[in-house]
A and B are shown apart, each in its own frame.
Chain A
Amino acid sequence: QKEVEQNSGPLSVPEGAIASLNCTYSDRGSQSFFWYRQYSGKSPELIMSIYSNGDKEDGRFTAQLNKASQYVSLLIRDSQPSDSATYLCAASSGGSYIPTFGRGTSLIVHP
């Protein structure tokens, strides 16, 4: 059973701080990793994808992947109240390419 684990939160950070979201996965064959943001009552939307070990930066967002530790993280710098949402981590293996989603971490950025 392929599993993706996330702390459900909520993670509460003050405006302007760095928010750190973490995710672990069970399938060592996983090759592709995605972070989605989901506002309440809305559909998930892609924030970042990462395929190789190391860091990948896009604006205020940085995804980090460590395949040896089976660990993926998302850092949000200069957090804004508009970042308040649930963040979903997903992993897919080279075999099926079907993303398995974690249950998400709720992030609250307070002014």
Chain B
Amino acid sequence: DAGVIQSPRHEVTEMGQEVTLRCKPISGHNSLFWYRQTMMRGLELLIYFNNNVPIDDSGMPEDRFSAKMPNASFSTLKIQPSEPRDSAVYFCASSPTYNSPLHFGNGTRLTVT
């Protein structure tokens, strides 16, 4: 099992640019989560998908953030335009069913200058 795969591992971009983060969940997992981690705020949920459908996006900071899950094996998180305060580590995680532990990807470290 390859685990949850995220790309890129590191992203450095300038303020105002579009950033797209990608995630491939573990095959067969029905739930997918995007979290953001910073020293100040810890791990914060951005959005939760179940069976490819967004269930809870209350954590998405503002309209600059959008997420999609076009199929069971792929999800994207897009930030447009990016701002320095978006700098953080973004984790994608999946789980086989509701109430199961999460399996995290290696994360994408985003730096916006």
What is the interface of chain A, defined by CB distance below 8 A to chain B?
31-32, 34, 42-46, 49, 88, 92, 96-104
Q: B42, A103: Cβ atoms under 8 Å?
A: yes
Q: A43, B45: Cβ atoms under 8 Å?
A: no
Q: B107, A102: Cβ atoms under 8 Å?
A: no
State the CA gap A100–B101 with chains docked (Å).
Answer: 12
Q: A92, B107: Cβ atoms under 8 Å?
A: no
In the assembled complex, 8 residue pairs joining A and B whose CB atoms fall closer than 8 Å, in A order, are A43-B105, A43-B106, A88-B43, A98-B33, A98-B48, A100-B45, A101-B43, A103-B43
A-B CB proximity, top 8 nearest = A103-B42, A97-B98, A43-B104, A101-B43, A46-B101, A97-B99, A32-B99, A44-B104
Per-position binary interface string of chain B over residues 86-113, scored 1 when its CB falls under 8 Å from any chain A CB and 0 otherwise: 0000010000001101111111000000
Task: Kindly state the interface size class of chain B when it binds its partner.
Answer: 20 to 34
Q: B99, A31: Cβ atoms under 8 Å?
A: yes
Residues from chain B with a CB closer than 8 A to the CB of A31 are 99
Q: A104, B42: Cβ atoms under 8 Å?
A: yes
Instruction: Check if B18 is an interface residue, CB within 8 A of chain A.
Output: no
Interface contacts (Cβ under 8 Å), in number, total 43
Main secondary structure, interface of B, reads strand
What is the interface of chain B, defined by CB distance below 8 A to chain A?
31, 33, 35, 41-43, 45, 48, 55-56, 91, 98-99, 101-107
Residue of B nearest to A4 (CB): B42
Residues from chain B with a CB closer than 8 A to the CB of A100 are 45
Q: B102, A99: Cβ atoms under 8 Å?
A: yes
Residues from chain B with a CB closer than 8 A to the CB of A45 are 104
Residues from chain A with a CB closer than 8 A to the CB of B48 are 96, 98
Q: Which of B33, B42, B107 contacts A43 (CB 8 A)?
A: B107
Residue of A nearest to B101 (CB): A46
Q: A96, B43: Cβ atoms under 8 Å?
A: no
CB B48 to nearest CB in A, in angstroms, measures: 5
Residues from chain A with a CB closer than 8 A to the CB of B33 are 98-99
CB A78 to nearest CB in B, in angstroms, measures: 24
Besides A44-B43, A100-B45, 6 other A-B contacts (C-beta < 8 A)? A46-B102, A49-B101, A96-B48, A98-B33, A99-B33, A101-B43
